[in-house]
Amino acid sequence: MISTGKQPMSVMTFCAIMSLSLIVNLPGLAVTPMLGTLHKIFPDTTQIEDQLLTVLPNLLIIPFVLLSGKLSLARHKKRIIVTALAIFCISAIGYMFARTMAMLIIISCLLGCGTGLLIPFSTGLIADNFCGSRRLRVMGLQSGISNTVVMLATFIVSWLCGARNWHMPFAVYLIGLVPLSLSFWLGGMSQSAPDSDKSACDVSDNASLAGKDVSSTGAPRVRDGFYVGRIAALTGVYFFITFATICISYYCPYLVEKEGWSDTLTGTTTALYFLFIFLPGYFLSWFVKHLKGSCFFFAAVCMTAGIGLFAFIPSDLSLCVGAGLAGLGYGICQPILYDKASVAVKSENKATLSLALVLTANYLAIVLTPFIIDLLRNILHAGKVTGFAFIVCFALLVIFTVITAIKRKSFVFMVGDNK
């Protein structure tokens, strides 16, 4: 049996919950390496159609994440999860029979819908069934697994792009059959009482990990069972760190092309970025134990230094180091934000909905980053500035780092007791 801080959990139920992490980051990102191959297979398609294959799933994830969060208030969580997994697996099989780019786009939209329904539960079930230090460790493990899978899937897709059958790279989505086959054991989950205002967790354990807002006076504002200000702050921080670091994926290829470096450098830096995102998930307890209240400040310094190398010291080595530093900082922040979102509620049964609200920030940032950068480029008339996106993100990260130092005792940036 697995110790959760609440009711003991069977190993198979734990595996079933963690298996949901195998697919939550796959839509769009996994097949990015084969976009060039698809353009050769469908030469009449436009660049916009190629981009829709990766953008639309992430765009459709957003409303379905919110819908899933709302549905999580009901007691039929297992039914919703199985439905989402079935949609995902049907889409994965559908890719094998697609014959046109339009069919691929439609299937990708369906895949995004299924993933959107599932995403809040991949972290919400952890919040429901674990508490305190155990919850934080499992959140880190969940983040590590999800980011590890997307990195491995990217490599597999790159390798399968040379296969005789061009459908083969889409086979990575068949990994959805694993959590679907394990979903039978989700019946062993604990269920939050619909109107419960008290957590079954040890209160002091929760406070020491989530962080007490000791910088403000008075009780935080509560609305419909949510600490409104805390959720808004968590959402804003998650949006920003995703925006400030995902620019590596979007704009590194242009920097490499302009400097005349090998195209393989783009793949290397992107792989290093995702590699260092997933590593902290497996060692999150170590970072929390040693850094405590400085966790977010350390992470902000890493992200700032990493993006700064892209902006001001462009070389093949500095880009690799910069990608690693940016990924490390982001990888530390991500599971901590998930953990905080799960306790930014007064009613325990709304933890999954709280996570859904915060999780939308990630997908909004992925979709909106190119538009925000292009808007700033036009406003500042910086069309010819090399590495403009990295310069902007570096400047914003410097401000963010200062804020993490000043507000280190606030709910969002506090980790541990900070004593």
Residue intervals of the chain classified under CATH 1.20.1250.20 are 1-186, 202-419
pLDDT, mean of residues 211-224 = 57
pLDDT of 208 strictly over 50: no
Q: pLDDT tens digits for 86-129? A: 999 999 999 999 888 889 889 989 999 999 999 888 888 888 88
Q: Residue 195 pLDDT > 50, yes or no?
A: no
**Helix, strand, coil percent content, the chain, rounded in steps of 5:** 75, 0, 25
Which pLDDT score, from 0 to 100, does residue 288 have?
85
Rounded-to-integer distance, Cα 88 and Cα 90, Å: 6
Q: What is the mean pLDDT of residues 201-212?
A: 45
**Predicted structure pTM score:** 0.81
Task: Tell which residue, 170, 196, 149, 164, has the closest CA to residue 91.
Answer: 170
% residues pLDDT > 90 (the chain): 26
Residues 361-404: tens digit of each pLDDT: 988 998 888 889 889 988 988 877 778 899 999 999 999 999 99
Residue 229: count of CB within 10 angstroms of its CB? 17
15-41 pLDDT, tens digit each: 999 999 998 888 766 566 666 677 678
Class of the CATH-defined domain 1-186: mainly alpha
Asked whether the beta carbons of 209 and 414 are under 8 A apart, the reply is no
Amino acid at 203: V
Q: How far apart are CA 275 and CA 270, in angstroms?
A: 9
pLDDT digits (tens, 9 = 90+) for 146-180: 888 887 887 787 777 777 788 888 888 999 999 99
Question: DSSP H helical segments within 184-227, as ranges?
Answer: 203-210
Asked if residue 406 has pLDDT above 70, the reply is yes
Q: What one-character-per-residue DSSP string does 45-80 give?
A: S-HHHHHHHHHHHHHHHHHHHHHHHHHTTSS-HHHH
Q: Residue 360 CA to chain centroid, in angstroms?
A: 9
Alpha helices in 161-227 (DSSP H): 177-182, 203-210
pLDDT tens for each residue of 47-61: 667 667 777 888 888
CATH fit for domain 202-419, picks 1.20.20.10, 1.20.1250.20, 2.40.160.20, 3.40.50.300: 1.20.1250.20
Give the pLDDT of residue 416. 64
Residue 5 per-residue DSSP state: S
pLDDT at 212 over 60: no
Query: Residue 45: what pLDDT?
Result: 75
What pLDDT score was predicted for residue 47?
62
Count of Cβ atoms closer than 10 Å to residue 187 Cβ: 9
pLDDT value of residue 179: 93
> What distance in Å separates the CA atoms of residue 282 and residue 185, rounded to the nearest whole number?
24
Say if CB 261 and CB 316 are below 8 A apart.
yes
Query: Taking 70 as the threshold, does the pLDDT of residue 198 lie above it?
Result: no
Arithmetic mean of pLDDT over the chain: 82
Check whether 317 has a pLDDT greater than 80.
yes
